[in-house]
Chain A
Amino acid sequence: MGVDLQYFIEGLTTAFHPMNILWVLIGGFLGTVVGMLPGLGPATAVAVLIPITFGMDPTSALILMAAIYYGAMYGGSRSSILLNTPGDGSAIAATFDGYPMTRNGQAGQALTISAIASLIGGIFAIIGFILLAKPLASFALRFGPAEYFMLFLFTLSAIVSLSKGNMVKGFIAMSIGLMLSTVGIDLQTGVHRFTFGIPQLSEGIDFLVVIIGVYAVGEVLYNYLNLDRLQNKNKLGKIGITREQWKRSKWPIIRNGPIGFLIGVLPGAGGSIASMLSYTTERQLSKHPEEFGKGAVEGVAAPESSNNAASVGSFIPLLTMGIPGSGTTAVILGAVIMLGMRPGPLLFEESPEMVWTLVNSMFLGNILLVAINVLLIGLLVKILSTPPRILYPLILVLAFIGTYTLSYSIIDFYVLVIFGIFGLFMKLLKFPIAPLILAVIVGSDMEQNFRKSLVAHDNLSSILFASPVTIVLLILTVLSVSYPFILSAIQKKRANKSA
């Protein structure tokens, strides 16, 4: 068992500190609002709101960012259900049956069931977190540079192969991210790399500017394309759910919480895969699959339970190994590094109270968010009907203020614009963004571990086969890159057989 009762209680008291409860409320609410904006997801929400955490102590900052994250997950399903416009991948599955429910005049009920499902899924995941995090951290303590290098490699290749679309584009995005991470003075030798004599570049490119540029500025510019098409005109209807609806969604919620959690723990997978998988599983298990896509309540419950569980699960690799498994956790990692904290196995040894505070506050936060989402539903719907034409400019302004507070330098404004335009073109040309962000953030760590292991193991092939862990990771990496090809080969074979 990974629970230290003493730290657990200590964390409980810190989490219930009035100030921290307030941060959870603020984070959850702001996250919900940004997540609700059509086209904007949790990564954007965290990116724009990063500046709020400056000057906070790391624990509160982590609490706040976690609250923003799951707030945005809740918010994302609001816009999926009401407007049929998911903010990011993990909210897509909620549109399949959520929006049909809205069309049937059951919007309120769809929102309630999604809130309840998220809560239960989240609680499952928190229990999973308590059981799994500590053992995993102890295991990761034994990792050396070669293991870490391979872990980074696997995470990057997994996020590329799992982000939908063209894998080549994913790898290009990843490589550009890694390139950006090499700019600046080399930490080991002091050699200037790719600085071209520009003094500002010698400190390297601040990954937070890249994050805010791509996720906030780029997303807003991209959403200009659909600006005039979105407007919420759907009626909310009843909020209370019927006994029949609860009976139908009870098991899907319970089944998919643990599924979502486990997928969330895997690097690269995260909420999008979790919710899609849960949706298809439930459709296959259902006695009336024909209702799916037409407003089946299970079709809302299952993915909602699972994507919220996945978002909690994704904190495990982040906190135990310092490896972000998704775009959003990458952004959170970037922000906590900025605050001088270094997630990894040592975190559990050095500041266990911080970890347990976070766990307790996630628990509290999930309950508060249901309260926010059920009680304030009217207000939230009103915010959602505030035209995006007003909210997008506000996001843009926040992005610039946030960037300025990073370094107090106007030059970053221009860097921000460059990455904003870069992000816009990535979105237009369907380049996945998560691999870029992940690579920018872990790039420098990955390189340091690569070079350390080069010193220890002489050449690349002996890094790959340094230990059982690296061999397993190597196999996983190869599998993650090749499985789409294997899959299509099998399908071809089957098609040939049946033909």
Chain B
Amino acid sequence: MIRLAMPLVSLALSVGFLFFTLNMTKSRVGDPNGPLYFPAVVGIFLLIMSIIYFIQEWKKRSEAMEELRGLVQGRTPLLIVSSLVLIFIYAFLFERIGFLFSTIIFLGGLLFVVNGREKWLQNLLISVIFSIITWYSFAELLNVSLP
């Protein structure tokens, strides 16, 4: 049944979008409905496409969902979840402790997970050197200010 989840999400999206389109504030300049024509056309189009998508998937509903299997195989789930966790930590630290240190932690963490614990020295060196190089090239060469 997971096969039908995506078409349903798409259907819900189009219905929700149309709902908000039709309830949009009317414009006080020009055509009061001006802002909603285009979204309305897009919303209706998505609705039609979602219905076709639903029918296509409905016909195949008994087939297994091969496409998503890769997500739960091997260490993929671990990699994805830990990357996401590290991203949130990065976002939390970025403006608090500054670009350089937070990037070293973020990149180091990623490398530990992705490249493996055994190569800790390589990971450490890469994260420190890469962070310093990017910090230098952004802040000094490209004049982009970083915290």
| Residues on A facing B (Cβ under 8 Å) | 51-52, 54-55, 166, 168-169, 171-172, 175-176, 178-179, 182, 186, 188-194, 221, 224-225, 227-228, 387, 389-390, 392-394, 396-398, 400-401, 404-405, 410, 413-414, 417, 421, 424, 428-430, 446-447, 450-451, 454-455
Contact = CB atoms under 8 A, between A and B. Distances in A.
Contacts of B53: 168-169, 172
Given A189-B28, A413-B90, A55 B46 contact: no
Looking at chain A's contact residues, the main secondary structure is helix
Contacts, number: 156
Looking at chain B's contact residues, the main secondary structure is helix
B120 to A, nearest CB: 13
A428 B94 contact: no
B27 A189 contact: yes
Interface of B: 6, 10, 13-14, 17, 20, 24-31, 34-35, 37-39, 42-43, 45-46, 49-50, 52-53, 56, 67-68, 70-71, 73-76, 79-80, 83-84, 87, 90-91, 94-95, 99, 103, 106-107, 110-111, 114-116, 122, 126, 130-131, 134, 138, 142-144, 146
Contact of B42 (A54, A179, A396, A455): A179
Contacts of A390: 111, 114-115, 122, 126
A189 B35 contact: yes
Nearest to A53: B142
Contacts of B103: 397, 401
Q: Which of B35, B52, B111, B126 has the most CB of A within 10 A?
A: B35
B83 A191 contact: no
A454 B91 contact: no
A21 B38 CA distance: 44
A55 B145 CA distance: 11
Contact of B46 (A179, A193, A225, A428): A179
Given A191-B35, A428-B67, A429-B67, A410 B24 contact: no
Contacts of B73: 225
A188 B49 contact: no
A397 B114 CA distance: 13
A188 B35 contact: yes
Contacts of B87: 400, 413, 417
B114 A227 contact: yes
